[in-house]
Structure 1
Protein backbone atom coordinates (compact mmCIF):
# COMPACT_ATOMS: atom_id res chain seq x y z
CA UNK A 1 0.00 0.00 0.00
CA UNK A 2 1.43 3.42 -0.91
CA UNK A 3 2.59 5.53 2.03
CA UNK A 4 0.00 8.27 1.45
CA UNK A 5 -2.87 5.76 1.59
CA UNK A 6 -1.33 3.89 4.51
CA UNK A 7 -1.49 7.04 6.65
CA UNK A 8 -5.19 7.40 5.84
CA UNK A 9 -6.00 3.80 6.80
CA UNK A 10 -7.57 2.95 10.13
CA UNK A 11 -5.01 2.89 12.92
CA UNK A 12 -4.87 0.34 15.72
CA UNK A 13 -2.83 0.63 18.88
CA UNK A 14 0.02 -1.86 19.32
CA UNK A 15 2.38 -2.59 22.16
CA UNK A 16 6.01 -2.64 21.07
CA UNK A 17 9.18 -3.34 22.97
CA UNK A 18 11.91 -0.98 21.79
CA UNK A 19 15.49 -0.62 23.00
CA UNK A 20 15.36 2.10 25.68
CA UNK A 21 18.41 4.03 24.45
CA UNK A 22 17.14 3.97 20.86
CA UNK A 23 13.73 5.23 22.00
CA UNK A 24 15.33 7.99 24.07
CA UNK A 25 17.50 9.09 21.14
CA UNK A 26 14.53 9.07 18.76
CA UNK A 27 12.52 11.24 21.13
CA UNK A 28 15.48 13.61 21.53
CA UNK A 29 15.58 13.95 17.75
CA UNK A 30 11.79 14.49 17.69
CA UNK A 31 11.19 11.44 15.50
CA UNK A 32 7.56 10.35 15.25
CA UNK A 33 7.90 6.88 16.81
CA UNK A 34 4.61 5.55 15.46
CA UNK A 35 5.35 6.69 11.91
CA UNK A 36 8.92 5.35 12.03
CA UNK A 37 7.71 1.98 13.34
CA UNK A 38 4.98 1.83 10.69
CA UNK A 39 7.46 2.64 7.91
CA UNK A 40 9.88 0.02 9.24
CA UNK A 41 7.15 -2.61 9.41
CA UNK A 42 5.95 -1.67 5.90
CA UNK A 43 9.49 -2.16 4.57
CA UNK A 44 9.82 -5.50 6.37
CA UNK A 45 6.48 -6.64 4.87
CA UNK A 46 7.55 -5.55 1.36
CA UNK A 47 10.91 -7.31 1.75
CA UNK A 48 9.22 -10.51 2.97
CA UNK A 49 6.75 -10.44 0.06
CA UNK A 50 9.58 -9.90 -2.40
CA UNK A 51 11.59 -12.79 -0.97
CA UNK A 52 8.51 -15.04 -0.98
CA UNK A 53 7.85 -14.17 -4.65
CA UNK A 54 11.47 -14.95 -5.57
CA UNK A 55 11.27 -18.28 -3.74
CA UNK A 56 7.96 -19.20 -5.37
CA UNK A 57 9.25 -18.26 -8.83
CA UNK A 58 12.85 -19.45 -8.49
CA UNK A 59 12.35 -22.46 -10.78
CA UNK A 60 10.72 -20.38 -13.53
CA UNK A 61 13.45 -17.74 -13.31
CA UNK A 62 16.19 -20.37 -13.48
CA UNK A 63 14.49 -22.00 -16.47
CA UNK A 64 14.18 -18.67 -18.26
CA UNK A 65 17.81 -17.78 -17.55
CA UNK A 66 18.95 -21.21 -18.80
CA UNK A 67 16.98 -20.70 -22.03
CA UNK A 68 18.57 -17.30 -22.63
CA UNK A 69 22.05 -18.70 -21.92
CA UNK A 70 21.50 -21.54 -24.37
CA UNK A 71 19.60 -19.65 -27.10
CA UNK A 72 20.19 -15.94 -26.56
CA UNK A 73 17.43 -13.37 -26.18
CA UNK A 74 14.35 -14.27 -28.23
CA UNK A 75 14.00 -10.82 -29.86
CA UNK A 76 17.68 -9.89 -29.84
CA UNK A 77 17.73 -9.07 -33.55
CA UNK A 78 15.32 -6.17 -32.90
CA UNK A 79 17.46 -4.57 -30.15
CA UNK A 80 18.69 -1.09 -30.98
CA UNK A 81 21.31 -0.89 -28.27
Structure 2
Protein backbone atom coordinates (compact mmCIF):
# COMPACT_ATOMS: atom_id res chain seq x y z
CA UNK A 1 0.00 0.00 0.00
CA UNK A 2 1.35 3.41 -0.99
CA UNK A 3 1.15 6.15 1.63
CA UNK A 4 -0.74 9.35 0.99
CA UNK A 5 2.49 11.30 1.27
CA UNK A 6 4.08 9.15 -1.44
CA UNK A 7 1.01 9.54 -3.67
CA UNK A 8 1.16 13.30 -3.24
CA UNK A 9 4.89 13.29 -4.02
CA UNK A 10 4.31 11.22 -7.17
CA UNK A 11 1.53 13.56 -8.25
CA UNK A 12 3.78 16.59 -7.61
CA UNK A 13 6.58 14.99 -9.63
CA UNK A 14 4.21 14.29 -12.52
CA UNK A 15 2.92 17.86 -12.47
CA UNK A 16 6.47 19.22 -12.35
CA UNK A 17 7.46 17.11 -15.35
CA UNK A 18 4.41 18.20 -17.32
CA UNK A 19 5.01 21.87 -16.48
CA UNK A 20 8.63 21.55 -17.60
CA UNK A 21 7.58 19.89 -20.86
CA UNK A 22 5.17 22.75 -21.54
CA UNK A 23 7.72 25.43 -20.66
CA UNK A 24 5.71 26.72 -17.70
CA UNK A 25 7.63 28.74 -15.11
CA UNK A 26 6.64 27.03 -11.87
CA UNK A 27 8.17 29.70 -9.66
CA UNK A 28 6.10 32.41 -11.32
CA UNK A 29 2.93 30.33 -10.96
CA UNK A 30 3.73 29.56 -7.32
CA UNK A 31 4.32 33.23 -6.56
CA UNK A 32 1.05 34.21 -8.26
CA UNK A 33 -0.90 31.52 -6.39
CA UNK A 34 0.68 32.47 -3.07
CA UNK A 35 -0.20 36.13 -3.62
CA UNK A 36 -3.78 35.14 -4.46
CA UNK A 37 -4.04 32.98 -1.33
CA UNK A 38 -2.71 35.82 0.85
CA UNK A 39 -5.18 38.28 -0.69
CA UNK A 40 -8.09 35.88 -0.17
CA UNK A 41 -7.16 35.27 3.47
CA UNK A 42 -6.82 39.00 4.17
CA UNK A 43 -10.24 39.61 2.61
CA UNK A 44 -11.78 36.78 4.66
CA UNK A 45 -10.33 38.18 7.88
CA UNK A 46 -11.44 41.72 7.00
CA UNK A 47 -15.02 40.52 6.48
CA UNK A 48 -14.97 38.77 9.86
CA UNK A 49 -13.44 41.77 11.65
CA UNK A 50 -15.92 44.20 10.09
CA UNK A 51 -19.04 42.02 10.13
CA UNK A 52 -20.72 44.06 12.88
CA UNK A 53 -20.15 47.37 11.10
CA UNK A 54 -21.34 45.95 7.77
CA UNK A 55 -24.44 44.51 9.44
CA UNK A 56 -25.16 47.86 11.15
CA UNK A 57 -24.76 49.78 7.89
CA UNK A 58 -27.09 47.38 6.08
CA UNK A 59 -29.69 47.67 8.87
CA UNK A 60 -29.49 51.47 8.69
CA UNK A 61 -30.06 51.43 4.93
CA UNK A 62 -32.98 49.01 5.28
CA UNK A 63 -34.57 51.25 7.91
CA UNK A 64 -33.78 54.71 6.47
CA UNK A 65 -32.90 54.09 2.83
CA UNK A 66 -29.76 55.28 1.10
CA UNK A 67 -28.50 58.67 2.26
CA UNK A 68 -29.04 61.34 -0.40
CA UNK A 69 -30.97 58.86 -2.57
CA UNK A 70 -33.14 61.69 -3.87
CA UNK A 71 -30.07 63.23 -5.52
CA UNK A 72 -29.02 60.10 -7.38
CA UNK A 73 -29.36 60.22 -11.14
CA UNK A 74 -28.97 56.50 -11.78
State the TM-score bracket (shorter-chain normalisation). 0.7 to 0.9
Q: TM (normalized to structure 1)?
A: 0.74
Aligned CA-pair RMSD: 1.4
- Residue in 1 that maps onto 2:23: 30
Distance in 2 (CA, whole Å) between partners of 1:20 and 1:65 is 49
Larger of the two Rg values belongs to structure = 2
Structure 2, unmatched stretches of 5+, are: 1-8
- Quote how far apart the aligned CAs of 1:22 are: 1.6
CA distance in 2, matches of 1:20, 1:69: 54
More helix by share: 2
Counterparts of 1:64 and 1:39 in 2: how far apart (Å)? 34
**Larger RCO, structure (CA 8 Å, separation 6 or more):** 2
**CA deviation after TM superposition for structure 1 residue 20, in Å:** 1.8
- Structure 1: 5+ residue stretches without partners: 1-16
Partner of 1:78: 71
Runs of at least 4 residues of structure 1 off by over 3 A? none
